[in-house]
């Protein structure tokens, strides 16, 4: 059974929809700036990739907005675009499931509720607090919106969650448990606790005076990732069903890979050993095809970028055999649990347009990160097969490989 992608949508700091986002990414623009969601004065990191100009009432009933935290709202926006893009208007609800993802979920509403219970007492907590905070409520809200009665799943695997949501949806269709799956991810943790917590780990860039240049994957002067927020959605379905209804097919999923580092709660396994095994699993499942492009996890942290580079070189045998690699987090920031799904959409659009997205802010080559990272400017190239990588805290790794269907 073959599984294909027939609809996509995304929202992030460089655009409120997939076309605007991709255009700005290709043009080398960034959505990273000083934080406006709260006053960041006094925080070690004061910058982030915020979604600007988004009105949640555009994707949900105004009376329901207060029931859903921002990560759910952003996911719903992406889902709406993907469903419209897929052309699906009639379907068997019981054979259409959902695979949702978020790394942390409703952290802002958790933070606010904690303050309320401490200062005003437990009876002042909103009855919508729990439903708006739970990660799986992204799938809950979205399944209700589109009457999806198939499997309702949620991946909460840190920064690999978005890619794991794709692999879970793929496996669900392959197992015959659904004919179609919506993959939807959302993340919105740019709040005092979120930014302060990651800063306490020394994970964030502190280049506060140059926010547009702060996220610089694979660059020798990288000093940490920059938080982003956003949402993305992919519609997956059986190839036969897509052909039968004359659907537009972006690509076929031909390989998936998952692994665990079993090494450290935050630091990747030495030399990218865990990332390598996930990539190798996907590569071998796909039949070891010629890979034309890799959308790297590329967070702009010292060890992630170094070890991912080492893993890629190990997979392909040498630096010379490696395909072009880029990280789009310089544009969007690191959208945590939504990153993998957002980057899958970017990868699919790169394949559709035969253009390699750039790794922006690549100014100072790192001798240890020595691949072709498509520095600073997009590049035209035929992309028939592409890989997208995601790695998360806790040593969790996910990889997906897409293949263009021709003819």
Residues belonging to the active site: 159, 297, 334
Sign of the CA dihedral with 314 first, then 316, 322, and 327 last: negative
Give the tokens for residue 182. Answer: 């919506």
Q: What angle do CA 66, 69, 72 make, to 5 degrees?
A: 115
Q: Strand, helix or coil at 307?
A: helix
**Beta strands, E only, 135-222:** 152-155, 180-187
Nearest to 132 by CA among 209, 199, 218, 67: 67
Task: Find out whether 295 and 386 touch, Cβ atoms under 8 Å.
Answer: yes
d(CA 290, CA 277): 18
DSSP for 68-84, written as a single string: S-HHHHHHHHHHHHHHH
Task: Find out whether 293 and 324 touch, Cβ atoms under 8 Å.
Answer: yes
Beta pairing partners, 375: 359
282, containing H or E segment: helix 273-285
Question: How far separated are the first and last CA of the chain, in Å rounded?
Answer: 19
d(CA 367, CA 245): 51
Q: Which residue has the tokens 């209804």?
A: 245
197, containing H or E segment: helix 192-200
């Amino acid at each position: 059974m073959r599984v294909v992608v027939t609809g996509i949508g995304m929202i992030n700091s460089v655009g409120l929809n997939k076309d605007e986002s991709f255009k700005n990414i290709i043009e080398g623009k960034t959505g990273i700036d000083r934080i406006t969601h709260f006053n960041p004065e006094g925080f070690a990191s004061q910058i982030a990739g915020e979604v600007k100009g988004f009105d949640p009432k555009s994707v949900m009933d105004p009376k329901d907005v207060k029931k859903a935290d921002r990560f759910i709202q952003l996911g719903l926006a992406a889902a709406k675009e993907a469903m419209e893009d897929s052309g699906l208007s009639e379907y068997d609800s019981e054979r259409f499931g959902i695979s949702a993802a978020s790394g942390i979920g409703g952290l802002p509403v958790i933070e606010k509720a904690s303050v309320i219970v401490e200062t005003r007492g437990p009876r002042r907590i909103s009855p919508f607090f729990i439903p708006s905070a739970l990660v799986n409520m992204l799938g809950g809200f979205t399944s209700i919106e589109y009457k999806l009665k198939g499997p309702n799943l949620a991946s909460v695997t840190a920064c690999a969650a978005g890619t794991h949501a794709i692999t879970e949806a793929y496996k669900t269709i392959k197992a015959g448990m659904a004919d179609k799956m919506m993959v939807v991810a959302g993340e919105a943790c740019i709040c005092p606790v979120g930014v302060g917590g990651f800063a306490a780990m020394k994970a964030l860039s502190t280049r506060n005076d140059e926010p547009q240049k702060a996220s610089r994957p694979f660059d020798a002067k990288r000093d940490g990732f920059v938080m982003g927020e956003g949402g993305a959605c992919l519609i997956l379905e059986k190839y036969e069903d897509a052909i039968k209804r004359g659907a537009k097919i972006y690509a076929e999923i031909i390989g998936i890979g998952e692994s665990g580092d079993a090494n450290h709660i935050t630091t990747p396994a030495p030399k990218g050993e865990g990332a390598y095994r996930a990539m190798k699993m996907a590569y071998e499942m796909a039949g070891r095809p010629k890979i034309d492009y890799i959308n790297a996890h590329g967070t702009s942290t010292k060890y992630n970028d170094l070890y991912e580079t080492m893993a890629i070189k190990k997979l392909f045998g040498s630096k010379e055999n490696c395909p072009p690699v880029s990280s789009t987090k310089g544009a969007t920031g690191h959208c945590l649990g939504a990153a993998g799904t957002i980057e899958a959409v970017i990868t699919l659009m790169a394949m559709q347009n035969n253009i390699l997205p750039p790794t922006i802010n690549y100014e100072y080559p790192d001798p240890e990160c020595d691949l072709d990272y498509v520095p600073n400017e997009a590049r035209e190239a035929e992309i028939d097969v592409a890989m997208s990588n995601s790695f998360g805290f806790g040593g969790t790794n996910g990889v997906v490989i897409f293949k263009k269907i021709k003819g």
